[in-house]
Structure 1
Amino acid sequence: PSDVANYDYKLKYPLEDERYHELGEEARVWWVCHDEATAFDNDMVEELSDSLDILLVFAGLFSAVLSTFVAQTSQSLSQDYTQLSASYLSELTILVRANMNRTAISNIPLTSTTFSPALTDLWVNGLWFTSLTIALSVALFAVLAKQWLRQYTSIITGGTRERALIRQFHFDGLKKWHVHSLIGMLPILLHLGLILFLVGLVISRQPSFHFSMFSAPTGQPLQTCSTMSISCLADCV
């Protein structure tokens, strides 16, 4: 009986409105509109919030794991000064021995100070940095969306007619800014980041991987990956 009363508004609001006051401030139609809108909003917000909670957990774990990989692989983009010091010591030892043996030092190879990261390292770091950027962006958008939903379901003061109009204004804002579409795009972005991470993982496990298709300057992979990530985020926004 209680469930029937919740949906049978003639039983829930038995008092009829006065004639010519059917759209007054406290008319029955606004109470009915408020009840229907509240039920609809609660279901919608609960569904979206559950999806955002799952995305936040996955994005947080994925970012933590990916940060560990990036912290290790990013070292390959700069020169290893420990190895350089060892090379200088080895060269110094050879020079001392050559001097003791009165050997010409002109034939002794000098340690090269130039450094150029391997193309594989550039691609792996480019893919993983792009993946990390996507994961953090998804987490940021998810937090903003949850704040928006919390504001959407905040308590509205005033008469029933005023509350109905304010609620409709909030709902129109959700449609205007395509909040549903943006939230729906977040899993796709997270999947894209995961794919980029897996591609980089395969490349890092295959040191002999050849990039004959990408005969570009060494800085091009990082620039290409960064451009792809910015383009994806711009399309979503």
Structure 2
Amino acid sequence: VASYDYMLKYPEDERYHELGDEARIWKVYDDEATAFDNDMVGELSDSLDILLVFAGLFSAVLTTFMAQTSQSLSQDSTQLSASYLSELTMLVRANMNSTAILNIPLTSATFSPAILDLWVNGLWFTSLVISLSVALFAVLAKHGNIVFYFIIQQWLRQYMSIITGTPRERAFIRQFRFDGLEKWRVQPFIGMLPTLLHLALILFLAGLVIFL
């Protein structure tokens, strides 16, 4: 918040003009609002930058883990081929030795992944989806698109645009913008993103404990 001695900075208003277009109260409001908005938008922008970088790196690491563990959800084709080849060899030998073919164990084509593998991949996949969603929302809030433009982008990139007019008009326009910011709950929305990222990290750690 700006720290000024407004009694010295701005002259006292004429009598009956304390709420006029050029009144001191509007000038003080404009100065204080500008300082407040600079801090608020700067913090939101920095928070989005940090979230975007962390979510991107976390998603990359998580994808590397999932590329390895997801293989356990499907049957190993090499092992299956070896089993079929072994079965075929035993059938040939049984035919040559006149051995009963029914005694030869058949290779099972059915496959069921282990419960722990399902849990690990389920937790990590959920974590990856949450992390990518956070990164997506951070990008939309930071750079905007046609859907989110009037919800988030307008406030973070145009909220600080220059307002012309008398001090009273500038105060009204700024308050109108701030009311819109509160109406669309932009700050709580951005504040929710770190919580989602923490949830993704917890799910990843839970899957890592099971995996190890």
Q: 2:90 aligns with which of 94, 99, 105?
A: 94
The yes-or-no answer on 1:119 pairing with 2:123 is no
Shift of 1:22: 4.0
Aligned to 2:205: 198
Residue 78 and residue 92 in structure 1: after superposition, are their counterparts in 2 closer, same or farther (change >3 A)?
same
Partner of 1:221: none
How far the C-alpha of 1:123 sits from its partner, in A, is: 0.5
Q: Assess if the C-alpha contact under 8 Å between 1:145 and 1:179 holds in 2.
A: no
Partner residue, 1:9: 6
Match of 2:189 among 182, 194, 201: 182
CA-CA distance at 1:18 after TM superposition: 5.4
* CA displacement at 1:42 relative to structure 2: 0.9
Distance 1:155 1:83 in 2: 68
Q: Which residue of 1 aligns with 2:172?
A: 165
* SS in structure 1 at match of 2:131: helix
Task: Point out where structure 2 has 5 or more consecutive residues left out of the alignment.
Answer: 143-152
Shift of 1:158: 4.1
Structure-1-length-normalised TM-score: 0.73
* Residues 105-144 of structure 1 mapped to structure 2, 5 A cutoff: 105-144=101-140
Change (3 A) 1:159 1:93: farther
Kindly provide the amino acid, as one letter, of the partner of residue 7 in structure 1: Y
RMSD: 2.4
Look up the match of 1:156: 163
Query: Take 1:80 and 1:52, find their aligned partners in 2: how far apart are those partners?
Result: 42
Contact 1:63 1:136 in 2 (8 A): yes
With 79-88 and 152-161 compared, the bigger mean Cα shift is at: 152-161
With the length of structure 2 as denominator, give the TM-score of the two structures. Answer: 0.81
Residue 98 (structure 1) shift: 1.7
Give the whole-Å Cα distance in 2 for the aligned partners of 1:79 and 1:166: 64
**How much identity, in percent, do the aligned residues show?**
82
Letter in structure 2 aligned against 1:33: Y
Change (3 A) 1:158 1:104: farther
